[in-house]
Structure 1
Amino acid sequence: MSSNIENKPVIGISCGDINGIGIELIIKTLGDNRILDICTPIIFANNKVINFYRKSVPDININFTSIKELNRINHKQVNLYSCWEEEVSIMPGTLSDIGGNYAVKSLTIAAQALKDGKIDGLVTAPIHKKNTHSEKFNFTGHTPYLKNLFGVKDVVMFMVAENIKVALLTEHVAVKDIAVHVTKENIFSKLQIINNSLKKDFGITKPKIAVLGLNPHAGDEGLIGKEDEEIIKPAVKEAKQKDIFCFGPYPADAFFARGQYEKFDGVLAMYHDQGLIPFKSLAIGEGVNYTAGLSGVRTSPDHGVAFDIAGKGKADEASFREAIFKCVDIINSRKEFAEQYKNPLKKISAGMLARAVDQRITDIPE
């Protein structure tokens, strides 16, 4: 991990689609100098792109230092690492190959810096799958790309907010193909990552995880599909035997409607809309997308490129700002987690807390 004399984490920021709202979000967020109290930001883009979008938010004053090397960071200002020098045609609100190409260029350079330990965390502005997916960038989004770059077997798309954390078994998969990915191996892998992340990244000593069913009513004991009885339930049982404190499968509708999610530290949903619709409806505060399972920390806002308002100064930066805050929080939580294994007194304290949690939890249904 990188370090500096002020002991602030260095946070890289990819610009996203240059025709979307990403640059505007960056300007609005980093225009508040108080962000420098908690981190040192580095924008991976180009000064001409930043200056172009400054015109759409004239009331925001953002100052930055241009750098050419990541070991020459100014910790008292926002930094801009230039990823390209050539002139680029910027057309806000337009889905174009140019927008996708430079989004990928910013992302790949920033992500490599994260992997190499030159930055401590990465916050990614939104990209569009239509103009980023190609033979050169053969990925359906940030999450599978980062999984491949870091060379890990599995990762989890984890949507986190103040009151709810929802992970996905499948991400951007067509509905007709979801059931193919619902396997014991995949469920157990995700549960392992979620369990470890809740401990290491969020400081929860004994995480409680709920697993949702695939079919309506969680299959009604096999009457509405066999996956819940034959795959999900055995996977949950196996995870319990491996000391993962998990329960389910739960019927998704009643689980959220009756507030059962409030009893758990994390929820594993089987597919995208099953998890994201309730998350975006119930989340208190601004939701953040976090990629769990990487050695590096990556977060992003929970929305897309919003071409309809790009370049108009209307974008709400709240989720983007929260993504930076969450990135810093997770970095600090990982440091604390590592420290507790160096300090025997902290180990004892954590163990006592875990036992206290075990004694307190008696009313969670199987």
Structure 2
Amino acid sequence: MENNLIKVGITHGDINGIGYEVILKAFSDSRLSELCIPIIYGSSKIAAYHRKALELPAINLNIINSAEDAGPNRVNLINCVDEDLKVELSKVTPAGGEAALQSLQAAVNDAQRGAIDVILTAPINKHNIQREGFHFPGHTEYFEQEFGNGRRSLMILMNDYLRVALVTGHIPLKDVPTQVTKEEI
């Protein structure tokens, strides 16, 4: 059964945001790591900071050097950002954007070479991540460039009961009616 588990690359998002909180709370239920082989792209030190600051239960992180080293039934983590970054919860900082981009790029690189099957992204701050190598309104447009081969991407949100595909993205609400057309759908 374990050989059939997909490898899910999880980016940590902005280190000052809710990414680690959501990730750590999700994996506090060990059943989640039975459904896939999770690989967090981030920092064990920053994860520990968030766990302590939020008074979350300890999670045994399996620190690995590459996605190929990831094992089932554990929460794997690849340290891919500077361990000494200062976390400033709820603040927008250049370091938060840089760390988000490094995590995203590491996961994309592993997906492009087939080391992981999918990427799950924690939230980024669309302002502090902007820099050379990232001039996009969000993850979706970045993935479109990295994986699209000239094709458009589609963001899909789903659970067991509902599937939602976004026809528009990152546009003012007043522009939505003119953008939702038969052709786009």
Unaligned runs of 5+ in 2: none
Distance 1:82 1:59 in 2: 21
Given candidates 120, 125, 144, the residue that maps to 1:123 is 120
**When the two structures are superposed, what TM-score results if normalisation uses the length of structure 2?**
0.87
Q: CA deviation at 1:149?
A: 0.3
Distance 1:103 1:112 in 2: 14
Aligned to 2:108: 111
Q: CA deviation at 1:133?
A: 2.2
Unaligned runs of 5+ in 1: 192-366
- 8 A contact 1:97–1:132 mirrored in 2: yes
Aligned to 1:144: 141
User: Which has the larger share of helix?
Assistant: 1
**Structure index of larger Rg:** 1
- 8 A contact 1:15–1:125 mirrored in 2: yes
Distance 2:86 2:60 in 1: 23
Aligned to 1:156: 154
User: For residues 30 and 98 of structure 1, do their structure 2 counterparts lie closer, same or farther at Cα, with a shift above 3 Å needed?
Assistant: same
Q: Give the letter for the 2:45 counterpart.
A: K
Distance 2:2 2:29 in 1: 22
Distance 2:34 2:160 in 1: 22
Equivalent residue runs for 1:1-366 within 5 Å: 5-152=2-149, 153-175=151-173, 181=179, 187-188=182-183, 190-191=184-185
SS of the residue 2:170 aligns to: coil
Q: CA deviation at 1:117?
A: 1.4
User: For residues 165 and 57 of structure 1, do their structure 2 counterparts lie closer, same or farther at Cα, with a shift above 3 Å needed?
Assistant: same
Structural RMSD (CA): 2.3
Distance 2:101 2:121 in 1: 11
Distance 1:175 1:75 in 2: 43
Cα deviation per residue 1:273-321 (whole Å; 9 max; x = unaligned)? xxxxxxxxxxxxxxxxxxxxxxxxxxxxxxxxxxxxxxxxxxxxxxxxx
Q: Give the letter for the 1:69 counterpart.
A: S
